[in-house]
Amino acid sequence: MTYTLGSYAPPPSVWEELKQELKAVAPELGIDDIGFASAEPFQSLKGILQSHRDKGFESGFEEPDLDKRVTPALPGTEPKSLIAIAITYHSKMENPPKSEPGKYRGIMARSAWGRDYHHVLREAMSRLEAYIKERVPDAELESMVDTGALVDRAVSQRAGIGFSAKNCAIISPKFGSWIFLGEMVTNIPFPPDTPITEDCGECTKCIDACPTGALVGPGQLNAQRCVSFLTQTKGFLDEEAMRKIGNRLYGCDTCQIVCPKNRGKSWTHQEDFKPDPEKAKPLLLPILDMSNREFKETFGDTSAAWRGRKPIQRNAVIALGNFKDISAVPKLSEVLLKDPRPELRGTAAWALGRIGGEEALNNLEKSMKSEGDSQVRDMLQQALNKLKPEQAGNEAPAQAQAAAEASSAGVPGSSNGGNPEQESSVIQGVEPMAIPEGGPEMLYYDEVQSPIGPLTVCATEKGLCLIEFGSFYVKEAVIQQWSRTWAGNGGYQRDEARLAPAITQLKQYFAGELKAFDVQLDMRGTSFQLQVWEALKSIPYGTVCSYKDVAESIGRPKAVRAVGGANNKNPVPIIVPCHRVVGTDGALIGYAGGPEIKRTLLTIEGAMPDRKGS
């Protein structure tokens, strides 16, 4: 059946029927969700966008005309409605390759796994357009994917695809935020759908976990600080940005990984987005040898290629520096001495300064004799100052005075007294970093399978510091946040030998063969938390007590709720037995791993409490 627009247009019920038909056929067109909205201008959004611009928060990739961003338009006719679509993408990778000494890997954001989503979305929109045209031949349709003028998140929210979250993503109640968005403007008067009323509530996990504090408030993103944006820029990056980028080659998923709304949501039916592990987590050193042609052959079909080879290669250099990969020194030295691009040479100087060693020092000094670019020379000097601190005193007096003034004034982003290892503690949305004596510390980790699922076990040089419920791949963002907060963001690496004693004891515990752990701990928290965690260690195997009992044992009988909070934040569960603390009625409450894991642990110990009144 076909419909005609115009003076003899069919009644509204017909457009409702067509809308329902499109919703039913959407999966056949490769679309996971579809919603409809009015084409009225997004008037309130304009003020928000203007404020965003005035504060300098834009990335520069946006449409510069704010009226176009908030006003749906169709050439030659009046728009009557908007159609929003969502397509899910993969958020997990089967058997992801792991970094090893000398074979370190970078990571692409999940939005860059598989085929370039722009192509996939455009193909889906084209199929949708063709389907509509068959039924409404004189319909006017204009599709947009990411690069269109309209704000796709605003369209999707109005059309009921999801709600706008504190991390600035659209979160679908069904699919989470692992969705790509597209929109279509049409002169068909489709009845609008109802927007989603769900929201983030009091949760601020995304804001707390943002590596650079780019989420300056709920739904407020300073793109200039966002790691995802920084990885796509082409110029020089500052010290803080390079350290926070870690081993990311393109994009950043941290705010989505930590989001509770994404918990348990993993979608794999869109084959176009199935990750190739060697593209999604590529070896770093080979990237530096790629020609433009080789780069296009390897990454050209992904969304990570749109900015070209240089940002990816620069980010690979940064990652090697953050890994402190001594085996990369020859290649980084080659980049430093021979690459024609100043940004690559300067970044290589920074990376060599991070890695250190005689070979790195010699090549930095050699480059300093011939380097002509002033910014590269500045980065060379900073690297040399790290490796030869006695030369740092040659800094110009004016520069030293400016650094001192910035430090004393507490200026965000200042160098904190000229110490390049210490990052600002006043960045909004980021917990103050505790720089340990001696500088940032490396975090070592390994994984163990258990009856409660995979566990990631972490240690510093001083002892076991963290046990996370889940694999390292899943918990990477949480571990990174802990490292930033308590260990100076010194990076992390897998070390099976170092973690072997702890993992052996965990296996014995789960087998019922061990009742008391004997491992060196390095627990870091507030003084109150440390006091509570120390009390937990004294709870015997096979017994339980209440939060009130713990509060009384530390001489704080009225601090029951605070004890519960500290119990929940115990960084070394199982070994420090916070699972042995239950409600006064025996309820399995207040456990970070959830009641089922708590139940399993107490069952292993034969300590399941009887519920009062049951």
- pLDDT at 415 (0 to 100): 30
- Contact predicate 186/79, CB 8 Å: yes
Residue 404's Cα: distance from chain center in Å? Answer: 33
Give ranges for CATH 3.30.160.70 in the chain: 431-522
Give ranges for CATH 1.10.10.10 in the chain: 525-614
Catalytic residue numbers?
578
Q: What percent of the chain has pLDDT over 70?
A: 89
- pLDDT at 416 (0 to 100): 31
Name residue, tokens 């070209």: 308
Predicted confidence (pLDDT) at residue 397 exceeds the cutoff of 60:
no
- pLDDT at 610 (0 to 100): 65
Predicted confidence (pLDDT) at residue 412 exceeds the cutoff of 80:
no
Q: What angle do CA 229, 233, 239 make, to 5 degrees?
A: 85
- pLDDT at 217 (0 to 100): 87
Strand partners, 220: 217
d(CA 322, CA 245): 9
Kindly report the average pLDDT of the chain as a whole number.
87
- pLDDT at 4 (0 to 100): 67
Its pTM stands at 0.65
pLDDT band at 78 (very low <50, low <70, confident <90, very high): very high
pLDDT band at 433 (very low <50, low <70, confident <90, very high): very low
pLDDT digits (tens, 9 = 90+) for 203-231: 988 998 898 889 988 999 999 999 999 99
- Contact predicate 22/16, CB 8 Å: no
- pLDDT at 356 (0 to 100): 93
- Cβ within 8 Å of residue 187, ≥6 positions away: 5, 74, 77, 78, 79, 80, 139, 140
Q: In CATH, what number does 431-522 get? A: 3.30.160.70
Segment holding 484, helix H or strand E: helix 472-486
- Contact predicate 448/503, CB 8 Å: yes
d(CA 250, CA 228): 7
pLDDT digits (tens, 9 = 90+) for 259-289: 999 998 999 999 999 999 999 999 999 999 9
- pLDDT at 389 (0 to 100): 67
pLDDT digits (tens, 9 = 90+) for 184-193: 999 999 999 9
Fold entry, domain 525-614? Arc Repressor Mutant, subunit A (1.10.10)
pLDDT digits (tens, 9 = 90+) for 571-600: 999 999 999 998 888 788 778 778 889 999
